[in-house]
Each structure stands twice: as C-alpha cells, then as structure tokens.
Amino acid sequence: MRIGLITSEPSHPLLSLTTALLAPDHHVDVLDPRTPLPVSEPLADVYLLKARTPHALALARVLEQRRACVINSATATALCQDRTSMAALALSADLPFAATRTFTTLARLASGPALSGPAVVKSRHSRRHDVVARVDSPSHLRDLAAAHPDEPVVVQDFAPNDGWDYKLWAIGDRLFAGLRRSELSPEGRGPTRALRLDDLPPGWPALVHRVGEVFSLDVYGVDIIDRGHGAPLIVDINAFPGIRGQSGAPEALAALALSRSNGADTDRLACRGAEDAGRSGRDRLVRQSPESGPAAEP
C-alpha cells in the first residue's frame, strides 16, 4: 500500500514513528504542501493531512477531486481553522461549546462598548502564533488592539475553572488524554501531564466522539475546561494535532491509515462520506458573512 503524508515536517514525532511502523511493508511518500501541482501518478491509497496552510488545503482538495482518500478532509480541516464557523456548528449541534462573538478587527472591538467582564480574545483564524489572550480591563484590551489592530477576532466570556486544560485527542476510535496548565494561567502553560481515560469525568469520552461525528474528523483534538463538578466546556477543536508523547498514538494512526485504504470499498466510502459531511457543515455556516451569523456581533 502507498500512504502519503501531506506535511512540511515529516520528522514530527507522530509522523516519523508512524512512518517507521508502516515502512517495512508499505511505501510512505512525503508531499510537501509547497510542491507544485499536479501530483504525479500513481496516487497513494490514503493521504494524511498534517498541515493547515492554504497550499496544503489546495493540495488536499485536488487529491479529493481525483477521488483520493484524505484524512482529515480539506473541508473539515478548514472548518476547524475558522473559530466563528467552529462555534456556530458546535452550538447548533448542542455541544457544550463556549458562546462566541466575532469582530472584524481588534481595533473595532476596542472602540466599541466595554466588555461586561473578563473575556478571552482569540484570532478568528486559528494558526501558529495567533492571538489568544485573557482581557480583564479596557486598558488591557486597548494595548492588545494596538499590537494587532487589524486582526479579526472572536470573544468568549471567561469561564471560571481550575486553571487546567484537558487535552483530549482522537485517532479513529482511540482516545488519548493529557492535562496541561491553561495558556491563560499566570504560571504559563508548562508540560502536558499524562492522564488516564478512567480519570476523566463521566461522559467526556463520549463527548469527544460526538465532536468527531459533528465535524467529520478522524484525527483531532478537543480542548475542554472543567467548569466544576465535571461540567465540560469545549474551548477549541483542532484537526490533526501533534498528539506528542501519547503511548499508542503512532500505532493508532498507522492502523487508521491502513483501514482507510482505497483498496477497500467500504473504507473508501467512509472516507468520501466524511468529506461530504464536512462540506455539508461548511456550506451551512461559512456562507454567512463575518458579522451576520448567530455566533457574531456587529
């Protein structure tokens, strides 16, 4: 079997360990997202989309148009990069997601009515080195806007919690968990601690699987905070996160790639079904203008 990795970082621990598991019996190709199109034949049986740049998404869409299986689909990956659309889809599916308002720029947010209390301001478009900050005062907001005046942002009311982010990851049906200080914590983020699934509050594993169904994702992360007594609040969803240091994650990814081979009709249909479902969710939400939807504020 041929497996394609869409990534500019094939040495990433999850990918390199997965490649080592697959390489003895299968051919693993690396497609740098910056590679000029078209992709040469023969196509791989399955592609793992471990990149989120515009070039990577364009490459994935071309492969999908040629009926290749891509995990996760380009549509599902793109949806998770837009925090406005992410929140709208999650809330429409009755997931316990943080209520989210959208502003075209940070400058516009700072020039408008004062926030009603502590809030979390994030870049609308999720990417490396994006804006994620707790804002407790008008002066803090003005300083943030001065540094990033033209940044489109979303605003979520700060939810009191124990200061820890529960990092939950899924690879197919397999779940992994970790615990890390919130990046909003005064102590800083710090390392991720291992967490047994048995130590999660009741219902959380099922909630993670439900997120995958709603967002048509196979490899994804869900960031949850505990609002008290095990009440979950989802604050972020990521397509194909790093899942570093999780025992069994490379094995799970290798098994998922092999199970989604285009050589098996049922798995090819599952891959196409995920792509179609992701497109359906995108079509319902992304048609909205940045400030016209239920998750937005003028």
- The three-state secondary structure class of 246 is coil
Sheet holding 153-157, edge to edge: 101-103, 153-157, 119-123, 132-135
Q: Do the Cβ atoms of 120 and 155 come closer than 8 Å?
A: yes
Report the domain count for the chain.
3
**Cα 105 to Cα 124: distance, rounded to the nearest angstrom:** 9
Q: Is the pTM of this model over 0.95?
A: no
Give the per-residue pLDDT at 163. 82
Specify whether 212 is located in the same domain as 86: yes
Average pLDDT over the chain reads 87
Specify whether 105 is located in the same domain as 151: yes
- Determine, yes or no, domain membership for 152: yes
- Determine, yes or no, domain membership for 296: no
- Assign residue 47 the CATH number of its domain: 3.40.50.20
Give residue 9's pLDDT band: very low, low, confident or very high (50, 70, 90): very high
Is pLDDT of 275 > 70? no
Range(s) of the domain holding residue 69: 2-78+251-285
Give residue 288's pLDDT band: very low, low, confident or very high (50, 70, 90): very low
Is pLDDT of 115 > 70? yes
